[in-house]
Chains A and B, each alone.
Chain A
Amino acid sequence: MVTTSAREGREPTGVARVSAALWRRAWLRAALTLSPPLAWFLIIYLASLIVMLVTAFWTVNPFTNNLQHQLSLTNFRALFQAPIPAIIGRTVLLAALVTLTDAIIALPFAYFMARVATPRVRNALFVAVLLPLWASYLARVYAWIVILTKDGTLDWTTQHLGLGAPNIAYTNVAMWIVFSYIWLPFMILPVYGALERIPDSFIEASADLGARNPRTLRSVVLPLALPGVIAGSIFTFSLTLGDYITPLLIGSGSGTNLIGNVIYDNIGLANNLPFAAALAFVPIVIMIVYLLGARALGAFEAM
């Protein structure tokens, strides 16, 4: 009684009124909670993409280097003129090769980690996989230059094995090796996650039904690991599509241009932002197609 009368006797304060209004209108509460992250997403993330899209339709005055704000398709037409299609093709092929290489390495490795190794070994392997991520990307790329360069670690080793010196620095092969190395942890971790979640009972059931190990691997383990592989491939594929540091340091030989470093050159060297923006849409479109394909394969349902 005392509390009721006390409440009735006083006018509700501003804070109380606001909180009451919020309590009555649940949608308002949700909108207020969600609007900061939503605004961040819209303004910082989507808006920059939209500005990029708009920029792609402009051109640069070849003389003064000023932007010309007239809509034109010049930049998109240039995407279909030599040498850009070949560079796009090379980039996609390289990204696919890197993804395949990482998948082939990651599957047995992650299987061992998830299902064979003792907890102690598993922890050690986790550290081994993650350790390179603690070192600077640049330091690791430069380390690879030391390995791949003429008379470097690789040449020295193969020469002592009597195989001659491959001397592959600054070639597409070198970029394939370095990309495969750098993105490997991003493949191993999701594959590990997928394999770890397979219940032991599935494997036992498969054996009970008369399947030998290869058949269990093919019909039970691999299909259940596939979503992990696809999740990993999204990282390895998209990261290779957009990277420009490795092409500059490990590539830059003859015929080694990738989308990333052509964009970089057009921003830095040529200051042709509109063309760089148009070219930046190529990996975006490729990734959209890739993700739609992955969805059609059911990769997201299983995630």
Chain B
Amino acid sequence: MRYMARFRRRDRRAVLVLALALPVVLAGWVSGASATPGIPAGVAGARLTPPTQGMKPQQSIGKGEGQLNLIAWEGYTQAQWVKPFERQTGCTVNAKYAGSSSEMVSLMANGGGGQYDLVSASGDADLRLIYGGAVKPVNIKLIPSWKQFRPFLQSPGFNTINGVHYGVSLQFGPNDLLYSTKAFPKAPTSWSVIYSKKYAGKITIPNNPIQIADAALYLSVHQRSLGITDPYELTQPQFNAAVKLLEQQRPLIKKYWNLASDEISLFQNGETVVGAAWPYQTGQLKAAGAKVADTIPSEGATGWADSWLLATKAPHPNCAYKWLAYISTPQVQAEQAVSYGETPDNSLACPLMDKIAKGSCESLHANEPDAYFKTIKFWKTPLAQCDNGKSDCVPFQQWVTAWTQITG
């Protein structure tokens, strides 16, 4: 046993040396390995210019590289439309699913690191990707179906800056008002019902900081003195007012829903009678026989709109362009819309949707005129820099902190 005692002493010393050395080595290694430039210089200045704005997009689609690496929302790369694409183009699709917009932004840092080709970013990530230099201009002429898109989604502000496209719009949907037709024989005309004590304990809203924009949108109509014009560009007083409204709403909330299935069961059980939702939930609930309906109230609504953006360092650009062209065609747009429960950008997709699932065009509002969607304020990244050139707006990170405070 003597050697054990000796070993123990030596070992203790060795462990001590290791324990002391490890953090130093690690810290050096980690900070050395990723000495990325933090914020591009242009952002801090008065005028924003995307760093990749000057890059010339390719003029034609060449031979495919055989591979295509995507960062996507789960459900955006279903075999149903990926397999035919792989057969047609010989590009094998490798998809990585991201859990949040912020994760997409992180994965795409350094232009996707030379690893990823395209990202299916939502509006709340687009500007961060564009101004962060992670994505580059796209030659829209190479995507024929783009001309069939609804006009307001051809060059929207969330993926097109100074006339330069950084990607192609994909699908969209409103965050609408879901209500039980038993509690509301007539459709509510205002979002005020989700802030009303009358429905205390029977209200549900998404567990997502971007929900602050919904409160801001409501205040832009009901408290005009605040002067809110854009629910994603809030000055500190405007932001505080929206947060206060949501804090007052907190005791009325049954649950801040995390998954669409949460909200579906809340309405099925009758635990909630009104809430903020997506058309997807309405469709699922109606299919299950629940007495519900949805509407876009008079104040309008927020909404999400996703785009495929092209990575600055895309290693397979030809396959990426082939994908952009393919995913924009009416048939694929219809397949994805029905599969995921969202509205296609391609205006020719509606009849094809009904062929896949009867009534899906109407329930997902794909048949509505453009005017119906005029009232939707699509998600975009809240930035410190407002459109008016001043930088007194509240950035997204503060939205996240405030959200924890709101939900308590």
Contact = CB atoms under 8 A, between A and B. Distances in A.
A271 B100 contact: yes
A3 interface: no
Contacts of A167: 271
B397 A270 contact: yes
B408 interface: yes
Interface stretch (A13-21, A223-231, A253-261, A283-291): A253-261
A65 B26 contact: no
A248 B258 contact: yes
Contacts of B3: 26-27, 30
A100 interface: no
A254 B252 CA distance: 8
Given A42-B18, A66-B106, A252-B255, 12 more contacts: A30-B7, A63-B132, A65-B105, A65-B132, A82-B405, A83-B405, A86-B408, A150-B269, A170-B255, A254-B251, A262-B404, A270-B397
Contacts of A221: none
A56 B208 CA distance: 24
A236 B164 CA distance: 56
B interface, size bucket: 35 or more
B60 interface: no
A257 B408 contact: yes
A90 to B, nearest CB: 9
Contacts of B265: 145, 149
B396 interface: yes
A274 to B, nearest CB: 11
Interface string A67-89: 11100000000100011101100
30 contacts: A27-B6, A27-B7, A34-B11, A47-B22, A51-B26, A62-B398, A63-B384, A64-B43, A64-B105, A65-B105, A65-B106, A66-B109, A66-B132, A82-B405, A83-B405, A149-B269, A150-B270, A253-B254, A253-B255, A254-B253, A254-B407, A256-B408, A257-B404, A257-B407, A268-B100, A270-B100, A270-B209, A270-B397, A271-B103, A272-B400
B289 interface: no
- In the complex, the 8 A-B pairs of residues with the closest C-beta atoms, listed nearest first: A271-B102, A26-B3, A255-B408, A64-B132, A270-B400, A62-B397, A65-B105, A254-B250
A252 B256 contact: yes
A256 to B, nearest CB: 7
Contact of A69 (B19, B34, B40, B403): B34
Given A257-B404, A265-B404, A66 B38 contact: yes
A106 B207 CA distance: 36
Contacts of B31: 69
A268 B128 CA distance: 17
B38 A64 contact: yes
Interface of B: 3-4, 6-7, 10-11, 15, 18-19, 22-23, 26-27, 30-31, 34-36, 38-40, 43, 99-100, 102-103, 105-106, 109, 128, 131-132, 207-209, 250-258, 262, 265, 269-271, 383-384, 395-398, 400-401, 403-405, 407-408
Given A50-B26, A66-B36, A66-B38, A255 B270 contact: no
B4 A30 contact: yes
Contacts of A63: 39, 43, 128, 131-132, 383-384, 395
A6 interface: no
Contact of B257 (A54, A252, A270): A252
